[in-house]
Amino acid sequence: MIEVKNLTKKYGSHLAVDNISFTVNKGEIVGFLGPNGAGKTTTMNILTGFISATEGDAIINGFNILDDPEKAKASIGYLPDLPPLYNHMTVDEYLNFVCEIRKVKRGDRKKMIGEIKEIVKISDMGKRVCGNLSKGYRQRVGLAQALAGYPEVLVFDEPTNGFDPKQIIEMRQVIKNLGKSHTLIISSHILTEVAAMCDRILIIHKGKIVASDTTARLSTALTSGTKMRARLKGSRDAIQSAFAGAPLFTAVTAATSREAGTYDFEFIGDEGIDIREAIFYTAQKNNLPIMMMQSADLTLEEIFLRVTGGEGGIYDSDN
């Protein structure tokens, strides 16, 4: 549904987007992440036709955004970081206006507006003036306008901005349901939400894509046995003493006690060092039975920091 080929954007001598390529398949929900100034917003603005690329192609639903912008844009619903509302209009007036400019047939508009209001949970807000809405409801109306015309591709920039925790959970499910019938790209600074909603992660840094995969596979590729969690039978002091002077470990941290007489510990080794054997032999030497051992998956925050923290470290599941 979305194909980006060798996309580059220059502002004078500044290279904002540097020859990036990626695809988003039909029905995928992809999180698009990056530090401030990484090129994330520039890329999204090119995809949605707000600005043009210096080089390369952005193809939406088979249509090049530069060569055939009308058809490409007809396939996109876009929610920018600030919802584009007209404050003097009521919600129904505004959504009717959006349907009109998206060329929805007049006879279909009422039914469509009712359906999209139901999807984003604003069915009772139709007569409210947009300028009087709370930040959370303004965001919901912004989501509703992106659905007008039922575009195949949805691009959301900070979709849960302004929501309280209960609303975030509710909207997370709304977005996951939309993924059953739409292709979505979601940008957000709330990385836990991205991890919960998205099938795959794209991370851009200094204008280049530095990671593209699921959170689980990125974690596995980046840890390579360097971070493990084990449940050991014995006293906390005995376990800490046994591993205190053992080689290969850069950190040994006690977590919790989940079974009587056992303690969970997290072990971290030097980058690229598989520490599983070291855990086994140290525990065996000190007569500490291992009740469980597993890889300690990185959180999305940890993945983000790793792949954007240095000049290298590019990871892509297709490489």
Domain of residue 236, CATH code: 3.30.70.3100
Instruction: Clarify whether residues 28 and 83 are in a common domain.
Output: yes
Instruction: Clarify whether residues 28 and 151 are in a common domain.
Output: yes
Backbone angles phi, psi at 132, to 5 degrees: -100, 5
Q: Residue 8 in contact with residue 19, Cβ under 8 Å?
A: yes
What's the DSSP call for residue 106?
Answer: H
**153-157 vs 183-187, strand pairing mode:** parallel
Q: Work out whether the CA dihedral 70, 74, 78, 82 comes out positive or negative.
A: positive
Quote the distance between the C-alpha of residue 177 and its chain's center. Answer: 16
**76-79 vs 153-157, strand pairing mode:** parallel
Backbone angles phi, psi at 266, to 5 degrees: -110, 130
Instruction: Clarify whether residues 32 and 127 are in a common domain.
Output: yes
Instruction: Clarify whether residues 19 and 142 are in a common domain.
Output: yes
Instruction: Clarify whether residues 241 and 195 are in a common domain.
Output: no
Query: Does residue 174 form part of some domain?
Result: yes
- Looking at the structure of the chain, the number of domains it has is 2
Query: Does residue 316 form part of some domain?
Result: no
Instruction: Clarify whether residues 226 and 99 are in a common domain.
Output: no
Query: Does residue 155 form part of some domain?
Result: yes
**Alpha-carbon separation of residue 304 from 169, 205, 307, 310, 313 (angstroms):** 22, 10, 6, 11, 11
Count CA atoms closer than 13 A to 296's CA, side-chain side: 19
Query: Does residue 231 form part of some domain?
Result: yes
Query: Does residue 159 form part of some domain?
Result: yes
Side-by-side strand order, sheet with 249-254 = 249-254, 262-269, 227-233, 290-295
Residues of the chain with pLDDT under 50: 310-319
Residue 316: its pLDDT value, please?
45
Instruction: Clarify whether residues 170 and 248 are in a common domain.
Output: no
The whole-model pTM stands at 0.75
Separation between Cα atoms, residue 57 and residue 8, nearest integer Å: 9
Query: Does residue 117 form part of some domain?
Result: yes
Residue where a domain terminates, one of 182, 200, 220: 220
Q: Residue 41 in contact with residue 32, Cβ under 8 Å?
A: no
The predicted-structure confidence for 156-208, as pLDDT tens digits, reads as follows 998 888 888 888 888 888 988 998 889 999 998 878 888 888 999 999 999 99
Give the CATH number of the domain where residue 20 resides. 3.40.50.300
Q: What type of residue sits at position 44?
A: M
Picking from 185, 182, 143, the residue whose alpha carbon sits closest to that of residue 163 is 143
Instruction: Clarify whether residues 125 and 249 are in a common domain.
Output: no
Instruction: Clarify whether residues 206 and 225 are in a common domain.
Output: no
For the record, the structure tokens of 74 come out as: 């007809």
Instruction: Clarify whether residues 142 and 254 are in a common domain.
Output: no
Where in the sequence is the domain holding 58, given as residue range(s)? 2-220
Q: Residue 184 in contact with residue 3, Cβ under 8 Å?
A: no
